[in-house]
Chains A and B, each alone.
Chain A
């Protein structure tokens, strides 16, 4: 062992594994036929089965199993031929049977992986397992006691467990974004963290660079946004490093992220250890997932984000960055592709979509699916600019209205009389008038002061209230000055 001086500062690396729960977008619950609709009256979507009345038995939802298989396949997992449900036991008022039906030692999917890219560096993150389980209900803590709503109780979830392959908050965020993209492409979930259909817990530890063993990890809960996950991990890793540098040791515990203060706080540790007493559910026999079914599901998986991104780069000449942004969400990628198919320069359409359309929607906190604007309208707008019918500036000015009303750009510019004046016969008298009224500028130009030309163009634009095609004005003005 080499000599290490007292003052030498070790450098640490962060090790992160994520456990992500995703609610599947089935119409009914995993083990009964209650609706999974969000936001109904408390307990409106319950029945004797999901309320665990005596005598009730679980009935397995085929669609939920199909969705879980689809998700696992999209994440590159192998699908177990034999699988089963196990009971995970603990008492809590949001868990009616006092056991959660989950999958313990035979998860539906195993050994998957996804690719992420952070700061231009590509990396493979292994996925250890994908399994199917039921959600718990919701508790509302009030002064008078706790209120229990079991509408979410029994809604199908998949749990996706990554290997401890992530090395920073940024990587964790990139992983989540990619996961979200893949799952939204497959259509198995609406994957909205804000609405709780995607939830994430992080296992975080640190270790000196070069060390191969893992440090003691903490589990971070209560992260509600992707950026929250990133911040929580960065904070927690820094905290652990600080503890170690002070000569302390990291306690294995569960910590809660406080979004407002951007810190993690240890949660009150339960006095006794949990023993979940997993055992195979005797009410749901072990079952076989047929190869034929898996193949059928596999063939229904659409082109996934990575493939689509590569295709957009090759087919439309987009940069890696632009193709990445446009394919992160399936709805956006679909919108883009429809617009391109309607005509117009693919790069210009990409630009308009990413800068103007997304900029506007982000301000309003809306998704692309929430605007009535059709992809063909964006294509039309780009073509109108290409053909010089309107200027880019006017294009920008009509876009908000397109996004609000869903009207075609031509309809708007015609109604507002925004079509550019390109007609020489219309522009020539105005140019003649401007030359006549500005003898000093004309003289300046002829004396070699190029800036004077700009002034004269501006005067023409002013006379036409901005509707003249500036390039055309330039040409005609030059011609007139030279003559």
Chain B
């Protein structure tokens, strides 16, 4: 197998480590070399962990193992290099959220996922770039650096988890954490040809994850394939007392169900809905073609695909922007320069300090959303904007409930087009918002959804297939994704860098 270490899937790498065919030091060294080779072109990391510390940590794990101490089967991510989106707290590391406001902020505590990652003995390679406070769809709103699409560096990696997607696509980490409030995992996954998985809202604790829009934010992962995602979900799902919005359920057990399942038997008779609204004019012909090919593969394996209607599709984006901006405007208000973060210089009184600090510390997109959110929550607009959007959210929820009464999953493209070039949409907010057109509905309803690679455009840019499932339907979503990947090889393609 000519595959380099950094190209292997998490589960393959894990097996090599568990069997003793590889040492943690070899794995870490290989990834560090890869990062050194490609990072100047990709720019995924806001902070890379210290090389010395990483190698020392790897050595400690290897030595412990050679002494026969510690049962590594209790540590499911033993020795595997992981990247964290920079809105997730890792004690002692930076947590900038790609904002000037928090440029020098170091988290004094661990997020719940970080705690579980340490228990699983994963290796934290560093913090990954993103759109500022996760507001954006191209990682261009990062105030700190540019991240490029590993398939073509003139193109954006998508966003907001652009650093996470690029790092996985470029082989800089074995998998990466992202967050998805309206497509922020799935959309960059589609643009960079990796798997992007967003579980049900509340499935994974949000404690320690900087809030953008609290009732939308969902922690998920960017991986090489769907089986990796299932394996990771089982580790990080489950109730957390520190997050009262986390689901009270036990951790999932999806990986073992999928691992030995025959894809054909699973797909036979599977009821798939494809809303017409997902395949309309706004979808580029090349994307549409790739997605129809994917439908064909699934149909060949015995799945039933039916075109249906999603009545409130056209209202999803407006509702999404009102609600997320409202929540964001409030979540961003804690950045006032009093207790941490940036503070403007030469200010005489408190109000000037607040205003100057926030105006200098926050970027344009963040300000725009704060203002839209403040507007929709203010007296006189609350009912017409905020509450109206909440009602539309209910209607979208009901649309889904009706669909899932008759179908197992809902399919479509992840994005209307493949990745776009830098600067192409930055000045036009509505054009930029269009890249989330097909992803926001899952967040409005809190449903699990995944984007899996489904081939390329003629320009060589990846296209993503999106699979959405019912509430708590991670097994269906990951099941279809895994079955699709056993029948196709799109996810095995790697960019040349």
Please list the residues of chain A having a beta carbon within 8 angstroms of any beta carbon in chain B. 48, 51-60, 87, 89, 91, 93, 96-99, 146, 148, 150, 275, 277, 279, 281-285
Contacts and interface: CB of A to CB of B under 8 A. Distances in A.
Given A99-B330, A275-B378, A279-B326, A55 B244 contact: no
Contacts of A281: 214
Interface string B305-330: 00000000000000000000011001
B244 A59 contact: yes
B245 A52 contact: no
Closest 6 CB pairs of A and B: A98-B333, A282-B214, A282-B215, A54-B210, A277-B377, A52-B334
A283 B340 CA distance: 22
Given A279-B330, A282-B214, A283-B244, 11 more contacts: A53-B108, A54-B211, A55-B208, A58-B244, A91-B333, A97-B333, A98-B334, A148-B339, A277-B378, A277-B382, A282-B245
Interface stretch (B87-95, B148-156, B290-298, B486-494): B87-95
A335 to B, nearest CB: 42
B459 to A, nearest CB: 38
A94 to B, nearest CB: 9
Interface string B376-414: 011100100010000000000000000000000000000
Interface string B270-301: 00000000000000000000000000000000
A285 B244 contact: yes
Contacts of B330: 87, 89, 99, 277, 279
Contacts of B351: 91
A282 B327 contact: yes
Given A97-B333, A282-B327, A285-B245, A55 B210 contact: yes
Interface string B56-99: 00000000000000000000000000000001110000010100
B449 to A, nearest CB: 20
Contact of B334 (A60, A97, A283): A97
A54 B336 contact: no
Interface of B: 87-89, 95, 97, 102, 105, 107-109, 111, 206-211, 213-215, 241-245, 326-327, 330, 333-334, 336, 338-340, 350-351, 354, 374, 377-379, 382, 386
B87 A283 contact: no
A52 B214 contact: no
A48 B87 CA distance: 15
B127 to A, nearest CB: 13
A59 B111 CA distance: 15
Contact of B339 (A52, A59, A282, A284): A52
A99 B211 CA distance: 14
B109 A54 contact: no
A96 B107 contact: no
5 contacts: A53-B340, A54-B102, A55-B111, A57-B242, A97-B334
Interface of B is mostly: loop
B72 to A, nearest CB: 30
Contact of B354 (A51, A91, A99, A148): A91
B210 A89 contact: no
B384 to A, nearest CB: 14
Contact of A93 (B210, B338, B374): B338
A279 B97 contact: no
A56 B207 contact: yes
Nearest to B102: A54
A57 B207 contact: yes
A56 B334 CA distance: 11
Contacts of A48: 108-109
Given A96-B338, A284-B244, A285-B244, A56 B214 contact: no
Nearest to B334: A52
B207 A277 contact: no
Given A89-B333, A148-B338, A282-B214, A59 B354 contact: no
A165 B149 CA distance: 68
A98 B336 contact: yes
Contacts of B354: 91
A91 B489 CA distance: 54
Contact of B379 (A96, A98, A146, A275): A275
B374 A277 contact: yes
Contacts of A284: 244-245
Contact of A55 (B95, B374, B379): B95
Contacts of B336: 91, 93, 98
B333 A57 contact: no
A341 B140 CA distance: 79
B333 A99 contact: yes
Contacts of A285: 244-245
Nearest to B339: A51
Contacts of B213: 282
Nearest to B110: A55
Contacts of A55: 87-89, 95, 107, 111, 207-211
A96 B340 CA distance: 11
A419 to B, nearest CB: 66
A146 B382 CA distance: 34
Given A54-B102, A56-B208, A279 B386 contact: yes
Nearest to B377: A277
Contacts of B214: 281-283
